[in-house]
A and B are shown apart, each in its own frame.
Chain A
């Protein structure tokens, strides 16, 4: 049993071949070092999955993990993580989800769930406080996502896959309610193991080290989120979709397979238009005061609205200006259980291959009539859908066009065009997960979305990327939504972008002085940073809930440990510097005629990044660094 608060103290192992269960040893010392979520999952996978194991081998495991804040009423803390070996990248992948499964898993008494082996026939698994049952899923197999969820206990938390997962589409997702663990093809791994769904239910709650103080602190934390311009106003009013207009003005709205950073019809698919013509109400994950999700009306149905990524990749990136169509496509992809980002990215690449005469496929930029049919073909692997289901990297190896194949490590890039946010470009390239904006460190928040630091300068970009990656890694592992970190940016800087202080801060952040300070923080021993920053409330929350001593130094180091742990495992799977890659379009072709620096100077940025991370020229973490992080003896 855990002495630390916030945890249930048990990790469940389910062997789906032999239909047995056991408990995985996970100690308080592990909790201190790895917190939970994706870092905990990386540790379990590295310790149990040989680096030669492929995504669809029965030796691959799936780890569903929560954090210590999950289920403690902390704001935006129902998030849970799913990690496995990705069929899309061939590497360790993790995907975060806001549905209620994580919360329910804890209520059933478990901090995490490890799924081993492969069932011979379709099953679904029921987890309660008392038992784990294996049910035949022949009647569920073939069903779309919402019908599958409706067929299961309405009171239980669930994760399910759709037809795309069953048919091993390399970017199939897992759903929990309306929320997806979208990226990396984890749905296909679940499908390969023949698991259609897992439910969890119970009434247990984690013990909290300082219950009264925690309650008080959460009240204040929720207040500060409500009071912040990003988490209290922008996200509730416009959702992530509200970013489209700003991305257009900042030249970071990926358009026509990332050929451009602006789209002339952006207003037709913007967050403002979504709000005006389709929004019914806000919705969000359980326990979240921000409620960034959208509920929209199409026809007479009220359905989940699209996130920014979906709008961008199914809109400008395909030269599609029909917002209503994007709402329908979003729904169709959710029902099939497919990642909207990778689907949009793969189709855009196929469109460009066709345009250039490299692959005749009847998919064209701006042509929307056949897209729904193509989604179905991908999900059921029919006709050319069978090839599209393999993703962009596969298509570029087969038909050419590597220089405009928009992926990193096999994962399609998110909707931010990085040539006018080069720190984001560096992040995409080095990210453990591949072309994911969040695992990249989300520097675009500093380079135009929240602050306005020079998006073309290389100064301090590597330093800032490492800092944000580490903090995001640890926050996610605590069970908290990464959007709560927006509130880290001082309100006054966001509220008044024209003030002298804001302009000075923007300039300061890309100076050698700032680079040196951030570099020091990144490399500093945790004892040198023994403070609790009020800008990052997660620090105090973790301490009050778990009883562990937490400081910014310790939190940063946990994040650093997580990032390096994932890197080290990927290195064991063959990743080297050459894999921290972006296509030539982004690194060799300038985006804007009036801006000669509008390209990602990747080699220069990578060199600095490796040096500060203490990775060698090949991108391999040095032994001294790993020892310091307690990752090797």
Chain B
């Protein structure tokens, strides 16, 4: 079970911005998230900034990055910078 937190534009779009989701990797997690929160499309989520325990998935294995029990996942809208 991973703890997922949503930031930036996503925090406006969804009801809850903290969810617990069970998934084996980021890809699966995003699919499940888009099912729970239909306001967030898969396409949009794939374009987000994703951190697993504070590491950007671009430094890990991208969408194939494995998720362990108790991992903290943060999803930030890609335009969170500025």
A and B, one complex? yes
Q: Which residues of A contact B (CB under 8 A)?
A: 229-231, 233-235, 237-238, 240, 242-243, 245-246, 249, 251, 262, 270, 272, 275-276, 445, 448-452, 483, 486, 494-499, 503, 506
Q: Does A233 lie within 8 Å of B9, measured CB to CB?
A: yes
Write out the residue numbers on chain A whose beta carbons fall within 8 Å of the beta carbon of B49.
246, 249, 497
Write out the residue numbers on chain A whose beta carbons fall within 8 Å of the beta carbon of B82.
230-231, 234-235, 240, 242-243, 445, 449-450, 483, 486
Q: Does A237 lie within 8 Å of B9, measured CB to CB?
A: yes
Check: B22 CB closer than 8 A to any chain A CB. no
Write out the residue numbers on chain B whose beta carbons fall within 8 Å of the beta carbon of A496.
47, 78
Residues from 54 to 72 in B contacting A, C-beta threshold 8 Å:
54, 56-58, 62-63
Q: Does A246 lie within 8 Å of B78, measured CB to CB?
A: no
Q: Select from chain A the residue with minimum beta-carbon distance to B49.
A: A497
Write out the residue numbers on chain B whose beta carbons fall within 8 Å of the beta carbon of A498.
46-48, 50, 57-58, 62-63
Q: Does B80 lie within 8 Å of A246, measured CB to CB?
A: yes
Knowing A243-B81, A494-B79 are in contact, say whether A238-B8 is a contact too (CB < 8 A).
Answer: yes
Knowing A249-B51, A498-B46 are in contact, say whether A503-B80 is a contact too (CB < 8 A).
Answer: no
A551 to B82, CA, bound (A): 26
Check: B25 CB closer than 8 A to any chain A CB. no
A452 to B51, CA, bound (A): 13
Knowing A238-B8, A272-B7, A452-B56 are in contact, say whether A245-B81 is a contact too (CB < 8 A).
Answer: no
Write out the residue numbers on chain A whose beta carbons fall within 8 Å of the beta carbon of B81.
230, 234, 243, 246, 445, 448-451, 494
A632 to B57, CA, bound (A): 51
Write out the residue numbers on chain A whose beta carbons fall within 8 Å of the beta carbon of B17.
272
A117 to B25, CA, bound (A): 68
A565 to B46, CA, bound (A): 47
- Residue from A229, A235, A270, A451 with most neighbouring chain B CB atoms (10 Å): A229
A497 to B63, CA, bound (A): 13
Interface string of B6-33 (1 = CB under 8 A from A): 0111011000010000000000000000
Check: B4 CB closer than 8 A to any chain A CB. no
Q: Select from chain B the residue with minimum beta-carbon distance to A444.
A: B81
Shortest distance from the beta carbon of A491 to any chain B beta carbon, whole Å:
10
Q: Which residues of B contact A (CB under 8 A)?
A: 7-9, 11-12, 17, 46-51, 54, 56-58, 62-63, 74, 76, 78-82
Q: Select from chain A the residue with minimum beta-carbon distance to B6.
A: A272
Write out the residue numbers on chain B whose beta carbons fall within 8 Å of the beta carbon of A272.
7-8, 11, 17
Shortest distance from the beta carbon of A594 to any chain B beta carbon, whole Å:
9
- Residue from B48, B54, B78, B81 with most neighbouring chain A CB atoms (10 Å): B81
Q: Select from chain B the residue with minimum beta-carbon distance to A249.
A: B51
List, sorted by A's number, 24 A–B pairs whose CB atoms are closer than 8 Å: A229-B78, A230-B81, A233-B79, A234-B80, A242-B80, A243-B80, A246-B8, A246-B76, A246-B80, A246-B81, A445-B81, A445-B82, A449-B81, A450-B81, A451-B81, A494-B78, A494-B79, A496-B78, A497-B47, A497-B49, A497-B78, A498-B50, A499-B47, A506-B58
A270 to B79, CA, bound (A): 15
Write out the residue numbers on chain A whose beta carbons fall within 8 Å of the beta carbon of B63.
498
Write out the residue numbers on chain B whose beta carbons fall within 8 Å of the beta carbon of A275.
12
A237 to B57, CA, bound (A): 26
Write out the residue numbers on chain B whose beta carbons fall within 8 Å of the beta carbon of A235.
82
Shortest distance from the beta carbon of A533 to any chain B beta carbon, whole Å:
20
Shortest distance from the beta carbon of B25 to any chain A beta carbon, whole Å:
14
A262 to B17, CA, bound (A): 20
Closest 9 A-B residue pairs measured CB to CB? A229-B79, A449-B81, A450-B81, A230-B82, A245-B7, A246-B80, A234-B79, A272-B11, A234-B82
Shortest distance from the beta carbon of A565 to any chain B beta carbon, whole Å:
29
A238 to B63, CA, bound (A): 28
A497 to B47, CA, bound (A): 6
Q: Does B79 lie within 8 Å of A251, measured CB to CB?
A: no
Q: Does A497 lie within 8 Å of B58, measured CB to CB?
A: yes
Write out the residue numbers on chain A whose beta carbons fall within 8 Å of the beta carbon of B12.
237, 275
Q: Does A249 lie within 8 Å of B76, measured CB to CB?
A: yes
Shortest distance from the beta carbon of A232 to any chain B beta carbon, whole Å:
9
Write out the residue numbers on chain B whose beta carbons fall within 8 Å of the beta carbon of A230.
79, 81-82
A449 to B56, CA, bound (A): 13
A234 to B50, CA, bound (A): 17
Shortest distance from the beta carbon of B12 to any chain A beta carbon, whole Å:
7
Write out the residue numbers on chain B whose beta carbons fall within 8 Å of the beta carbon of A486.
82
Q: Does A251 lie within 8 Å of B78, measured CB to CB?
A: no
Shortest distance from the beta carbon of B77 to any chain A beta carbon, whole Å:
8
Write out the residue numbers on chain A whose beta carbons fall within 8 Å of the beta carbon of B50.
498
Shortest distance from the beta carbon of A485 to any chain B beta carbon, whole Å:
11
Q: Does B47 lie within 8 Å of A495, measured CB to CB?
A: yes
Q: Select from chain A the residue with minimum beta-carbon distance to B79.
A: A229
Write out the residue numbers on chain B whose beta carbons fall within 8 Å of the beta carbon of A245.
7-8, 74, 76, 80
A494 to B79, CA, bound (A): 6
Shortest distance from the beta carbon of A288 to any chain B beta carbon, whole Å:
15
Write out the residue numbers on chain A whose beta carbons fall within 8 Å of the beta carbon of B79.
229-230, 233-234, 494-495
Q: Select from chain A the residue with minimum beta-carbon distance to B63.
A: A498
A242 to B51, CA, bound (A): 17
A450 to B76, CA, bound (A): 12
